[in-house]
Amino acid sequence: MLVESLALSAVLFTIGVIGVLTRRNAIIIFMCVELMLNAVNLSFVALSKLHGAAGQVFVVFTMTVAAAEAAVGLAIIIAIFRHTQTVNLQNINILKG
Amino acid sequence: MIPAMTPEGAHPLAATAARLVWLLPLLPLLGFLLNGTLAMLGVAKTGPADPSAAHDAHDSGHGHDAAHDDHAPTRHKYAALVSLIGPGVLIAAFGVAVACFLAMRSVDMEHPYIVTLYQWMPVGDLTIGATLHLDQLSMVMVLVVTGVGALIHVFSVGYMQDDPGYPRYFAYLNLFIFFMLVLVLGGSYPVLFVGWEGVGLCSYLLIGFWFSEKVNADAGKKAFIVNRIGDFGFLVAMFLMFANLGALDFVPVAAKAAELPMGGIVVTAICLFMFLGCAGKSAQIPLYVWLPDAMAGPTPVSALIHAATMVTAGVYLIARSATLFSMAPTAQLVVALIGALTAFLAATIGLKQWDIKKVLAYSTVSQLGFMFVAVGVGSYVAGIFHLVTHSFFKALLFLGSGSVIYAMHAAYHATHKHDDAQDMRNMGGLRRHLPITCYLMWIATLAIAGIPLFSGFFSKDEILSSVFARAHGSTIADATLFGVHGSTILMVIYGLGIASALMTAIYMMRMMLYTFHGPNRTGEAERPHLAEAPWVMTGPLVVLGVLSLVGGWLNVPALLSGIGPVGVLDHWLEPVVGEASLRTTLGAAPHLPHQTELVLVGVAIAIAVAGIAFAVWRLKPAALVPKKDAVPTEGFVRVLENKYFVDEGYDKAFVQPTLGISRAVLWKGLDNGIIDGLFVNGSALLARAIGWMGSQLQTGQVGTYAWVLLIGVITILGAFTFR
């Protein structure tokens, strides 16, 4: 059961990474980031079977942080959209040197 | 000079007044500090006189002597105090010098009296003390410096009284005397060099005393720079001495030099480099050009620094290094030849100068040439003798000309006329207005021309006869220079000396006739204002007049033994330079047959009389016109008036190339190109290029950053996993 859980977690995480790297839309990238967080959550829960309850405690923390991040991140995306009328990250490069 | 060092305590002078020798330099230094303080206290309101107001009309750029402008005299508020301190310290120093002299007379001393004040530079093998070295030679110099110096200080009280820079003037003058005494009393070459540089500094400061006028400041700079060239030679000589002899104090240097091979390359090089230093300080070819320009300073300065004392430092240095020079006959030949050529060249230029101070300046260069002839042929006593008599009569001539300029200035000032107060064409007939100055200057003129029984006659005759005597049977006569035999060169030097003596008589007569005789050309309105200077100025002239008259008795030749004790100076200086002199003359005292000596004296007298007669016969003061009406001259006279265009030649040959190279290579190439271009702008460009490359990594694309992040993570994880 543990091995399957960790494998699923790895698959989910990889999907998230690929999504972040390849997609252009800020919302989708955001969703992929959430996917990566939850993949990690899954591996925490799976591993708590071996190492005790600390992993489950961490999951709660992660979800809290993820909720806060979602609030802030979505707010930023809305602000960006208001400013540039797009959420396509290729057009948003004001950090350029 | 005896090599053995005497323990200080055991020296016979240590128990006498001569132990106060340290007071000699200290007194003028004290005067400098006091006068300098007063100058600083009073400087707020006044500066140097504004010469532009009074000198618009001058075209030569010179002749701005004496305090002057159209306003009421701006006497300095501390002038009275300064008049007390300035000459006071000099008179006190002269008193100390006389006390030292009397002490030296009373004891029998063969070794110099050496006082080490403190250790100055103990570095490895080199130990230089701040050492005073009192012997017969430095005693003579100290007496001249403080004696003539005191007289000129007193004269300055009258001459400079209305100058706003009065305390500054006396501060510089006192400082000069301090450094001059360090120069003549220093016990080693480095200490002498401190004085040497110090007098150069004071010379610079005093030539440019009225620095608000550019020509004066330029003349100061010229003197300073030309002297630097000479000082380079002196420094190289000192390096060579330390490297080859391992010593820099006079006594061990002389002892070790005597052990060197005769005429060796080392000792010859040392002497020639040292002579380069002397040529700078004492205005010899090729470095004489600064001295005539130095006349831009106040006239008493010309008398003190540029005639009587500082410029003779080179002669003193060679006499002090007599042992070194006696080991290098080729160098001696060079010294004597350069001296003779300088004497001749300067005398020809002196024939056609119109500025009264310029005549005297070239005369000084010429007489210094005579002194170098003397020390060059190893007749050190004759050189020092001429140095002493020259300091008397040339100081008198300069102070006399100062007195004349003072009168001319006062006359122009009274009538608000702007004209050259130093041009002889504006003078004439001043005998009626300045009788005392006139007669005293006649004494000096006859002395410098070499009329018998005046001081210059004895010293100049001794120089010429010593050249003649060494033409055979001396190390110099056996030496060769560029393949020419020494005795031939000595005869050429003798001929040049005779010719220079003839011209000396002519140009001095010319100066006297044009200045004091014939009709007056100053102007109708100015004539009643021409008057003798106050006694504070004529007093020192009288003393110098007496000295010029009797100075010859210092060293009466054996030929004239009837008139006084023979060879006093000879005996006095014998412990210092006797050994070196004898080495040059192969151990035997130079001796000429009685008839030859009579003929030589006869020739000298005939030359002097002929020069004077020629001048009286040919020169017509009545035919002269004032400067502003003068027509330009042509041909060789024009060449002489323009000093052979040597200054212009130097400008073309050295100054302009230096400026050109400085501009093209140092400024445009090195400074603008390398320093500014490569280093300053180059480093800025490099930083910008690196920054630009870094900025190109920042695309602003979040995806790129994420890729980079991922690659980094994988790399690090990989490194940890597969290490």
Is the Cβ pair B700, A89 closer than 8 Å? no
φ, ψ of residue A92 in degrees (nearest 5): -110, 95
Is the Cβ pair A93, B706 closer than 8 Å? no
Model confidence at B64: pLDDT above 80: no
Residues contacting residue B483 through CB under 8 Å, at least 6 positions apart = none
Model confidence at B6: pLDDT above 60: no
Range B236-257 average pLDDT: 92
Q: What's the mean pLDDT when you consider all of chain B?
A: 88
Identify the pLDDT of residue B52: 41
How far are the Cα atoms of B150, B355, B402, B547, B622 from residue B532, in angstroms, in the given order?
21, 20, 11, 21, 23
User: Of B477, B459, B443, which Cα lies nearest the Cα of B312?
Assistant: B459
Q: Find the CB nearest A97 among B698, B703, B710.
A: B698
Confidence of residue B281 (pLDDT cuts 50, 70, 90): very high
Identify the pLDDT of residue B73: 57
Identify the pLDDT of residue B71: 47
Tokens of B443: 């004494």
In contact, B163 and B205? CB cutoff 8 Å: no
Segment among B2-16, B292-306, B650-664, B684-698 with least mean pLDDT:
B2-16
Give the angle B693-B695-B700 at the CA atoms, nearest 5°. 140
Peptide bond before residue B286 is cis, with ω within 30 degrees of 0: yes
CA separation for the pair B61, B213 (Å, rounded) = 9
Segment among A48-52, B409-413, B631-635 with least mean pLDDT:
B631-635
Segment among B72-86, B493-507, B653-667 with least mean pLDDT:
B72-86
Distance from CA of A16 to the nearest CA of B (A): 12
- What digits encode the pLDDT tens for the residues B344-370? 999 999 998 999 999 999 999 999 999
Model confidence at B46: pLDDT above 50: no
Is the Cβ pair A97, B706 closer than 8 Å? no
Which H helix or E strand runs over B396?
helix B380-415
10 Å CB burial of residue B568 (0-12, 13-18, 19+) is middle
φ, ψ of residue B210 in degrees (nearest 5): -95, 70
Residues of B with CB under 8 A from a CB of A: 694-703, 706-707, 710
In contact, B193 and B320? CB cutoff 8 Å: no
Segment among A41-55, B63-77, B177-191 with least mean pLDDT:
B63-77
Segment among B65-74, B481-490, B500-509, B566-575 with least mean pLDDT:
B65-74
The fraction of chain B above a pLDDT of 90, given in percent, is 57
Confidence of residue B127 (pLDDT cuts 50, 70, 90): confident
Range B477-504 average pLDDT: 92
Segment among B586-595, B642-651, B670-679 with least mean pLDDT:
B586-595
In contact, B411 and B510? CB cutoff 8 Å: no
Global pTM reads 0.81
Q: Which residues of A touch B706 (CB under 8 A)?
A: 20-21
Measure the N-to-C terminal CA separation of chain B; round to a whole number of Å: 87
CA separation for the pair B93, B585 (Å, rounded) = 38
Q: Which residues of A touch B696 (CB under 8 A)?
A: 97
Range B678-698 average pLDDT: 91
Distance from CA of A17 to the nearest CA of B (A): 9
Confidence of residue A97 (pLDDT cuts 50, 70, 90): low
Q: Which residue of A has its CA nearest to B701?
A: A93
Distance from CA of B671 to the nearest CA of A (A): 35
Model confidence at A91: pLDDT above 90: no
CA separation for the pair B159, B146 (Å, rounded) = 19
User: Can you list the alpha helix ranges (DSSP code H) found in A1-97?
Assistant: 2-22, 26-51, 54-84
Identify the pLDDT of residue B56: 38
Range B416-433 average pLDDT: 88
Q: What is the count of residue pairs from A and B with beta carbons less than 8 Å apart?
A: 31
Is the Cβ pair A17, B695 closer than 8 Å? no
The fraction of chain A above a pLDDT of 70, given in percent, is 99
Distance from CA of B690 to the nearest CA of A (A): 13
User: Of B392, B611, B361, B602, which Cα lies nearest the Cα of B500?
Assistant: B611
Identify the pLDDT of residue B44: 46
Instruction: Say which DSSP state B124 is in.
Output: T
Distance from CA of B695 to the nearest CA of A (A): 5
Model confidence at A15: pLDDT above 90: yes
Q: Which residues of A touch B710 (CB under 8 A)?
A: 17, 21
CA separation for the pair B448, B462 (Å, rounded) = 14
Model confidence at B21: pLDDT above 60: yes
Angle, helices B455-469/B486-516, rounded to nearest 10 degrees: 160
Residues of A with CB under 8 A from a CB of B: 17, 20-22, 24, 29, 89-90, 92-97
User: Of B504, B397, B507, which Cα lies nearest the Cα of B148?
Assistant: B397
Provide the CA B245 distance to its chain's centre, in angstroms.
Answer: 28
Range B173-200 average pLDDT: 94
ipTM, two decimals: 0.82
Residues contacting residue B434 through CB under 8 Å, at least 6 positions apart = B403, B404, B407, B516, B530, B531, B532, B533
CA separation for the pair B119, B562 (Å, rounded) = 51
Distance from CA of A18 to the nearest CA of B (A): 10
Identify the pLDDT of residue B167: 92
Is the Cβ pair A90, B696 closer than 8 Å? no
Q: Which of B693, B695, B702 to substitute to test the interface with A, most A CBs within 10 Å?
A: B702
Distance from CA of A97 to the nearest CA of B (A): 5
DSSP track, B237-259: HHHHHHHHHS--BHHHHHHHHTT
- What digits encode the pLDDT tens for the residues A80-89? 999 889 888 8
Q: Find the CB nearest A21 among B697, B699, B706.
A: B706
Model confidence at B408: pLDDT above 70: yes
Identify the pLDDT of residue B13: 83
- What digits encode the pLDDT tens for the residues B511-565? 999 999 988 888 888 888 888 888 889 999 999 999 999 988 888 888 877 888 8
Is the Cβ pair A17, B710 closer than 8 Å? yes
CA separation for the pair B515, B8 (Å, rounded) = 54
For A14-27, b where at least 16 C-beta lie within 10 A, e where not — what string?
A: eebbebbeebbebe
Q: Find the CB nearest A93 among B695, B699, B707.
A: B699
Identify the pLDDT of residue B205: 94
Match 């003397």 to its residue by tokens: B374
Model confidence at B701: pLDDT above 50: yes
Confidence of residue B69 (pLDDT cuts 50, 70, 90): very low
Identify the pLDDT of residue A65: 93
For B204-229, b where at least 16 C-beta lie within 10 A, e where not — what string?
A: bbbbbbbbebebbbbbbebbbebbeb
Q: Which residues of B touch A22 (CB under 8 A)?
A: 703
β-pair type (B126-134, B113-123): antiparallel
Model confidence at A92: pLDDT above 90: no
Model confidence at B70: pLDDT above 80: no
CA separation for the pair B635, B657 (Å, rounded) = 29
User: Of B469, B480, B466, B473, which Cα lies nearest the Cα of B263?
Assistant: B480
Q: What is the CA radius of gyration of chain B?
A: 30
Q: Which residues of B touch A87 (CB under 8 A)?
A: none
Q: Which of A86, A87, A94, A95 to substitute to test the interface with B, most B CBs within 10 Å?
A: A95
Say how many CA atoms lie within 13 Å of B2 toward its Cβ: 11
Identify the pLDDT of residue B63: 42
Segment among B44-48, B318-322, B488-492, B622-626 with least mean pLDDT:
B44-48
Is the Cβ pair B696, A17 closer than 8 Å? no
How far are the Cα atoms of B224, B469, B477, B545, B596 from residue B593, in angstroms, in the given order?
47, 10, 18, 34, 5
Confidence of residue B74 (pLDDT cuts 50, 70, 90): low
User: Of A57, A70, A7, A16, which Cα lies nearest the Cα of A38?
Assistant: A16
Q: Which residue of B has its CA nearest to A18?
A: B707
In contact, B168 and B38? CB cutoff 8 Å: no
Confidence of residue B12 (pLDDT cuts 50, 70, 90): confident
CA separation for the pair B671, B17 (Å, rounded) = 59
User: Of B41, B61, B36, B37, which Cα lies nearest the Cα of B51?
Assistant: B61
